[in-house]
Structure 1
Amino acid sequence: MSAQSAKDKPIKVLWLTSSYPRSKDDSASVFLRYLAEALANQKVSLHILSPDHPEVQATTQPDGIVCQHFRYFWPRKLQMLAYGSGILPNLRAAPCLFLQVPFFIMSMTVTAAWIMVVQRPSLIHAHWIFPQGTVAVFLGKLLRIPVLVTAHGGDAFGLKGVFVRVIKNWTIKNCSAWTSNTSATSAAVGSDLPKPQIIPMGIDCKKFAGADCERTLMGKGPKKLVLLFVGRLVEKKGVADLLRAYVLLPEILRKQTELWIIGDGYERKKLESLARNIQHVNSIRFLGRIPNQQLPGYYAAADMFIAPSIIDIQGDTEGQGVMLLEAMASGLPIITTNVGGISSVIAHGETGLLVNPGKPIEIAAAIEKLLNDKNFRETLSIKACKAAQDYDWLTISSKFVNLYRESNSIRDK
């Protein structure tokens, strides 16, 4: 087969993932849906296997994408291991869910094996090292199919212990290739392992850069400056520090601003209670989950984006921070913390401001600096928007396509 015909031949790929949007409006790991759609546009045929959940709805997929959900517990309404705040936070919040873990792994393994036997994909791409990557490597060895594993962060920073480390090391050493979203995530997996290719997750730059806030908010936009947070309301996101920082602002600045918090998670009630004890509570708005397609309008309505991530009690933190890319593409000045892989995305003083994690006083000082210096805000905005172009999905998906073709060519030899 000629090089040109090999390049034009569609690649069949089986994805294994612990999270994928459950409906057209769901934001759970929505970056994977965007990556899948970008890959489908480049002649990649994807079969995506993800966990079932009570909120999974039948959704029409673009040409080239099949999405299948595996059942792992009965009755269906009890399947609560995945989604929500994420598997690790769900386990911490409800330890009884550990009972579902073996059924989860067994069901995924059996379903994936059946797909592989029937469809014979060119390769398996596992998102997150464990359990997806481990299952993929086991099945890949059994059926002689190459395996690509991608580390997204939670699997690197959040999974601790000798037993888990041994499994992760075995998975990385025995896969055909692996990628990491940042060098920090790679280092957290292990410095003595084969080196990955660094491929971050991406962003649809046009969608966020061209958003219309008036259409989203129906002309009822705020008259105040908006400080925006978007993300899951879990410990590692550091929203409690953001609330404490907001109350430290001079009263005149609090009266000129509103703090919008978009997202949901197990910490929401605790955070709302904390907000009620803060002066000018009417300036703090918990907006809950917003459909992903509506988010660009909220970014467009904002004047500043704040992501005060921390290292939580389990050692988990941000591997990359896709919401930072959304804010960058929207042209927002950004304040965030120097943890995990965030410094790979944000350059201090150039595309945003980096402060120390767990320091509300530093967050407040950074907010005050940006509120009082409009020119600096605009400079950060321009540079951030330009830097976001490097993360456009066309660029990112092309890197994965190249890896897919390399793995496929090795198999064909």
Structure 2
Amino acid sequence: MTSGLRNLFDKKNTKAVFLNDVLQIMKILVINYEYPPIGGGAAGASYHIARELVKLGCSVSVITSKFKNLPANEVVEDVKIFRIPVWRKKADRSSVAEMITFMLSGMWYGLRFLKKERPDATLAFFTIPCSHIGLLGKWFQGIPYIISLRGGDVPGTQPEQLAFFHALTRPAVKILWRKAAWVVANSKGLAALAKQTTPELDIKIIPNGVDLEQFSPVLKLNEDRKEVVRILYVGRASAEKNIIEAFKALKMCDAKNWRFDIIGDGPQLPVWKTSAVSFDISDSVNFQGWMQKENLPGLYPKYDLFIFPSTSEGMPNVLLEAMACGLPVIATRIRGNEDIVEHEINGFLYEPGDASKLSSFLSRLLLDNNLRIKMSLAARKRAESFSWKNTAEEYLKIINQSIKQRRRQ
């Protein structure tokens, strides 16, 4: 048994004998149609969890999407990555049609991988388009699979955009969840929403983490920064991100000492640019486009506060990253956000659609430097309670339980 696994299970006083007697190195297959350098928050989560599982002594492989000139096979930080052929145009997002190509390709290449490598367990991010590969592994080889819910794959999220898709896929979702060894949500709100589809299932909650060394505050010595407060948003330019509400709030704001930078790309970007002009704030709004993940740790500390007006989330990584870098946060009071932001301690929460309240909170932070400093310290302290190591350990515990249960059958 590797020292990482021995330390983990000895500390927990559980499963050490089982691993010692049966498994020397646990082989885990991670499935996500997005994995860095492509994709959004879930891609980053799968990367960090895979990396931490390796540190804990596991052998980890990843099946993900081939994109442009990325190699079909490579090893990154001891994680073996296998990219399968798909149709995908953009690095930062994927359409439903493109996800279907991953599902089809995954059936062929996934089965071949499962037969050849015979992992001990599968961890699938997103019910659709990923967990069916885990189900195939269970059907044909008895390999247990765990589903990590991320938000959009749960019926009821983003009803304006996904209602038809969820109505169409709900029967398949129920089957995939019921056949899984575990179904995991990354926030209390997402777990409660999932229970509406399958009330009989026990949905495990394992929150996201943040790399506290990579994302950290820096001492801000530039006195001129006090004159203009820099506001940041990082994320996809999609309808549920609700950035137009932020424009409305900024227009209403008493304070005018701000600059708003938007990092991200997506179908709503042209709409957002037009809206900034219509609100007559375009001179203070800067659209920087999509940014590679490795550039984000150096980006956050350049700003003074983070705004996140999204109407639907699982558990947003960007909030944890911003807070780890000492940014106070103004976010909507929705599932995921509520698990991270402590109202009036490290930021503010407001009801989606209440641009007036958002404007009021913005004014308070823009005009009160001492409040920003106080919330900045509290934000970092709050972020320190989340780590990818803890997240990976929680996943490893249920993976081990799944393997143990399989061997009893």
The verdict on a shared fold, with TM-score over 0.5 as the criterion, is yes
Distance 1:193 1:12, change over 3 A: same
Aligned: 1:18 with 2:30 = no
Gaps in structure 2 of 5+ consecutive residues: 1-15
Deviation at 1:226, TM superposition (A): 0.5
Q: How many residues are paired up?
A: 384
TM-score by length of 1: 0.85
- Partner SS, residue 298 of structure 1: helix
**What is the 5 A alignment of 1:24-35?**
29-35=43-49
Aligned: 1:61 with 2:65 = no
Distance (whole Å) between structure 2 residues aligned to residue 282 and residue 33 of structure 1: 37
Aligned: 1:175 with 2:180 = yes
Counterpart position of 1:199: 206
Contact 1:181 1:320 in 2 (8 A): yes
Counterpart position of 2:92: 84
Deviation at 1:55, TM superposition (A): 5.7
Q: What are the Cα deviations for residues 339-379 of structure 1, in whole angstroms up to 9, with x where unaligned?
A: 23211221222222001112322211110011223333233
Counterpart position of 2:399: 404
2:241 pairs, out of 232, 237, 243, with 237
**What is the 5 A alignment of 1:9-158?**
9-22=24-37, 29-54=43-68, 56=70, 61-73=75-87, 79-80=88-89, 84-85=92-93, 87=94, 90-91=95-96, 97=97, 102-156=100-154, 157-158=157-158
Deviation at 1:319, TM superposition (A): 1.0
Distance (whole Å) between structure 1 residues aligned to residue 218 and residue 46 of structure 2: 21
Counterpart position of 2:12: none
Which range is displaced more, 160-169 or 317-326? 160-169
Distance (whole Å) between structure 2 residues aligned to residue 104 and residue 62 of structure 1: 22
Aligned: 1:290 with 2:291 = yes
Counterpart position of 1:314: none
Aligned: 1:378 with 2:373 = yes
Contact 2:124 2:147 in 1 (8 A): yes
Distance (whole Å) between structure 2 residues aligned to residue 163 and residue 363 of structure 1: 36
**What is the 5 A alignment of 1:285-364?**
285-310=286-311, 317-364=312-359
- Partner SS, residue 27 of structure 2: strand
Deviation at 1:294, TM superposition (A): 2.1
Q: What are the Cα deviations for residues 262-320 of structure 1, in whole angstroms up to 9, with x where unaligned?
A: 1111111221122233335322111112222222222111111100112xxxxxx1111
- Partner SS, residue 205 of structure 1: coil
Distance 1:292 1:131, change over 3 A: closer
Q: Which amino acid aligns with 2:84?
A: F
- Partner SS, residue 348 of structure 1: coil
Distance (whole Å) between structure 2 residues aligned to residue 259 and residue 127 of structure 1: 32
Contact 1:169 1:193 in 2 (8 A): no
**What is the 5 A alignment of 1:155-170?**
155-156=153-154, 157-158=157-158, 160=163, 161-170=166-175
Q: Which amino acid aligns with 2:212?
A: C
Distance (whole Å) between structure 2 residues aligned to residue 230 and residue 144 of structure 1: 41
Deviation at 1:328, TM superposition (A): 1.2
Distance (whole Å) between structure 1 residues aligned to residue 146 and residue 251 of structure 2: 46
Aligned: 1:187 with 2:187 = no
Distance 1:126 1:58, change over 3 A: closer
TM-score by length of 2: 0.85
